[in-house]
Amino acid sequence: MSRPDDAPTPDAPAGPPRWLLVMLAAGLSLLVAVVLLLLLGVVGVDRIGAVLLFVVLVVSAVVGGWVVRLLSPRLPPIRRPPRA
Protein backbone atom coordinates (compact mmCIF):
# COMPACT_ATOMS: atom_id res chain seq x y z
CA MET A 1 0.00 0.00 0.00
CA SER A 2 1.38 3.37 -0.91
CA ARG A 3 1.47 6.35 1.35
CA PRO A 4 -0.82 9.28 0.51
CA ASP A 5 2.10 11.74 0.36
CA ASP A 6 3.84 9.84 -2.47
CA ALA A 7 3.73 11.68 -5.76
CA PRO A 8 2.52 9.56 -8.66
CA THR A 9 5.31 8.63 -11.02
CA PRO A 10 4.42 8.89 -14.69
CA ASP A 11 5.22 5.99 -17.00
CA ALA A 12 6.71 8.29 -19.63
CA PRO A 13 8.72 11.44 -18.95
CA ALA A 14 7.07 14.74 -19.73
CA GLY A 15 8.24 16.64 -22.77
CA PRO A 16 9.43 15.58 -26.18
CA PRO A 17 11.33 12.31 -26.62
CA ARG A 18 15.10 12.37 -26.36
CA TRP A 19 15.65 11.32 -29.98
CA LEU A 20 13.72 14.40 -31.11
CA LEU A 21 15.89 16.68 -29.00
CA VAL A 22 19.06 15.06 -30.39
CA MET A 23 17.84 15.52 -33.96
CA LEU A 24 16.90 19.14 -33.24
CA ALA A 25 20.35 19.78 -31.76
CA ALA A 26 22.03 18.19 -34.79
CA GLY A 27 19.99 20.29 -37.19
CA LEU A 28 20.65 23.51 -35.31
CA SER A 29 24.36 22.68 -35.11
CA LEU A 30 24.47 22.16 -38.86
CA LEU A 31 22.69 25.47 -39.40
CA VAL A 32 25.14 27.30 -37.13
CA ALA A 33 28.11 25.68 -38.90
CA VAL A 34 26.81 26.77 -42.31
CA VAL A 35 26.26 30.32 -41.07
CA LEU A 36 29.77 30.45 -39.58
CA LEU A 37 31.33 29.16 -42.80
CA LEU A 38 29.35 31.67 -44.86
CA LEU A 39 30.50 34.45 -42.54
CA LEU A 40 34.09 33.32 -42.99
CA GLY A 41 33.59 33.46 -46.76
CA VAL A 42 32.12 36.96 -46.55
CA VAL A 43 35.06 38.13 -44.44
CA GLY A 44 37.39 36.91 -47.16
CA VAL A 45 38.84 33.66 -45.85
CA ASP A 46 39.79 31.66 -48.94
CA ARG A 47 41.18 28.51 -47.33
CA ILE A 48 40.06 26.89 -44.12
CA GLY A 49 42.56 24.71 -42.32
CA ALA A 50 41.78 21.64 -40.26
CA VAL A 51 42.12 23.54 -36.99
CA LEU A 52 39.69 26.27 -38.03
CA LEU A 53 37.21 23.70 -39.33
CA PHE A 54 37.45 21.83 -36.02
CA VAL A 55 36.82 25.07 -34.10
CA VAL A 56 33.78 25.84 -36.27
CA LEU A 57 32.38 22.34 -35.67
CA VAL A 58 32.92 22.48 -31.92
CA VAL A 59 31.42 25.96 -31.61
CA SER A 60 28.40 24.97 -33.70
CA ALA A 61 27.84 21.81 -31.63
CA VAL A 62 28.02 23.74 -28.36
CA VAL A 63 25.66 26.46 -29.63
CA GLY A 64 23.19 23.90 -31.02
CA GLY A 65 23.13 21.94 -27.77
CA TRP A 66 22.77 25.11 -25.71
CA VAL A 67 19.81 26.32 -27.77
CA VAL A 68 18.07 22.95 -27.49
CA ARG A 69 18.59 22.96 -23.72
CA LEU A 70 16.89 26.36 -23.60
CA LEU A 71 14.05 25.29 -25.89
CA SER A 72 13.32 21.82 -24.50
CA PRO A 73 11.23 22.95 -21.48
CA ARG A 74 9.09 25.09 -23.80
CA LEU A 75 8.34 22.30 -26.27
CA PRO A 76 4.97 20.58 -25.83
CA PRO A 77 4.94 17.03 -24.50
CA ILE A 78 4.26 14.24 -26.96
CA ARG A 79 1.29 12.10 -26.01
CA ARG A 80 2.10 8.42 -26.21
CA PRO A 81 -0.43 5.63 -26.02
CA PRO A 82 -0.10 3.45 -22.91
CA ARG A 83 1.93 0.31 -23.29
CA ALA A 84 -0.02 -2.91 -23.24
The answer to whether residue 44 is domain-embedded is yes
The answer to whether residue 56 is domain-embedded is yes
The answer to whether residue 67 is domain-embedded is yes
The answer to whether residue 81 is domain-embedded is no
The residue ranking higher by pLDDT, 6 or 70, is: 70
The answer to whether residue 46 is domain-embedded is yes
Per-residue pLDDT of 23-50, as tens digits, reads 999 999 999 999 999 999 999 988 989 9
The answer to whether residue 70 is domain-embedded is yes
Q: Are 28 and 64 in contact (CB under 8 A)?
A: yes
The answer to whether residue 9 is domain-embedded is no
The domain tally of the chain equals 1
Q: What is the DSSP-derived secondary structure letter of residue 44?
A: T
Domain that holds residue 46: 18-74
Write out the DSSP string of 70-84: HHGGGSPPPP-PPP-
